[in-house]
């Protein structure tokens, strides 16, 4: 969509598979995208996670805004265009025998004066567990006081209950750009759109892409979602 005024923001939402694939390709993908913010799923969350997070950010000319181990691998990276005012991390209730999941949040202002809330999450692979996690995430998103930009690996498609919970009241960037047919997983056998970028309805979606290149196919098992937005400036 075009034709609206606002402050531009380029967002990359990316499940980087724990950096277990071609790291040089991963770095090249993020650099080539030239994002203002990166919402990372499956980022560093174990031994020396702070150092690993900082090394990833430095390699792509960004800084760590928040997340990491306290958010269970959800990591927020920002460029110098974006000033981070506050951050918080969330862990979803643990289901016995399952992996912990969570989310990261940052209250931000971008050069040009637009404030927004950045959020990233990664829901369970268990369909019985996801709806409750989505409800917890949605409650936290509902407390935001500035326009939301939410990137998530939901581990289910748009017809799923957890997806519907998170998406309610927000704009699905893929739908807004008429590109909902673009699949995000897996790079080896694209068959699902389980990675989403949702925004406040006051935010204009200018462009949306699922970046499918030889590099992205080597960098992770998910394709990155790259979105250009226009953020409203409060009067």
> In sequence order, what DSSP letters do the residues of the chain get, joined into one string?
------EEEEEEEEE-GGG-S-HHHHHHHHHHH--SEEEEES---STTHHHHHHHHHHHTT-EEEEEEGGGTTEEEEE-TTEEEEEEEEEEPPPPTTS---EEEEEEEEETTTEEEEEEEEE--S-TTTHHHHHHHHHHHHHT-SS-EEEEEE-SS-TTSHHHHHHHTTSEEHHHHTT-TT---B-SSS--B--EEEEE-TTSEEEEEEE--SHHHHHH-SB--EEEEEEEPPP-
Buried-exposed string 141-174: b where 16+ CB fall within 10 A, e elsewhere = beebebbbbbbbbbbbbbebebbebbbeebbbbb
Cα-to-chain-centroid distance, residue 216: 16
CA distance 133 to 66: 20
Beta pairing, strands 74-78 & 63-68 = antiparallel
- In CATH, what class is 7-231? alpha beta
User: What pLDDT is recorded for position 3?
Assistant: 38
Q: Per the confidence metrics, is the pTM higher than 0.85?
A: yes
pLDDT at 95: 82
Give 230's strand partners: 8, 204
Domain borders along the chain are: 7-231
Q: Can you give the pLDDT of all 235 residues of the chain as single tens digits?
A: 333 589 999 999 999 999 999 999 999 999 999 999 999 999 999 889 999 999 999 999 999 999 999 999 999 999 999 999 999 999 999 887 788 999 999 999 999 999 999 999 999 999 999 999 999 999 999 999 999 999 999 999 999 999 999 999 999 999 999 999 999 999 999 999 999 999 999 999 999 999 999 999 999 999 999 999 999 997 6
The answer to whether the CB of 200 falls within 8 A of the CB of 118 is no
In whole angstroms, how large is the CA radius of gyration of the chain? Answer: 16
């Amino acid at each position: 969509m075009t034709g609206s005024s606002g402050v531009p923001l380029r967002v990359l939402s990316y499940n980087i598979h724990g950096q277990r694939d071609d790291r040089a390709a991963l770095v090249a993908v993020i650099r080539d995208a030239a994002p203002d913010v990166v919402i990372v799923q499956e980022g560093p969350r174990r031994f020396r996670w702070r150092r690993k997070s900082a090394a990833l950010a430095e390699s792509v000319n960004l800084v760590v805004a928040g997340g990491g181990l306290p958010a269970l691998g959800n990591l927020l990276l920002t460029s110098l265009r974006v000033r981070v005012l506050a951050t918080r991390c969330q862990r979803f209730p643990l289901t016995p025998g399952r992996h912990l999941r969570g989310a990261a949040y940052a209250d931000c202002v971008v050069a040009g004066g637009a404030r927004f809330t950045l959020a990233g999450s990664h829901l369970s692979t268990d369909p019985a567990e996801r709806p409750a996690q989505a409800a917890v995430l949605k409650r936290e998103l509902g407390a935001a006081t500035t326009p939301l930009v939410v990137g998530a690996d939901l581990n289910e498609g748009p017809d799923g209950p957890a997806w519907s919970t998170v998406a309610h009241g927000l704009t699905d960037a893929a739908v807004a750009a008429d590109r909902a047919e673009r699949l995000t997983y897996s790079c080896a056998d694209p068959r699902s759109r389980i990675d989403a970028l949702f925004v406040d309805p006051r935010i204009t979606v200018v462009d949306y892409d699922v970046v499918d290149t030889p590099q992205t196919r080597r960098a992770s098992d998910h394709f990155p979602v790259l979105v250009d937005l226009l953020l409203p400036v409060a009067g």
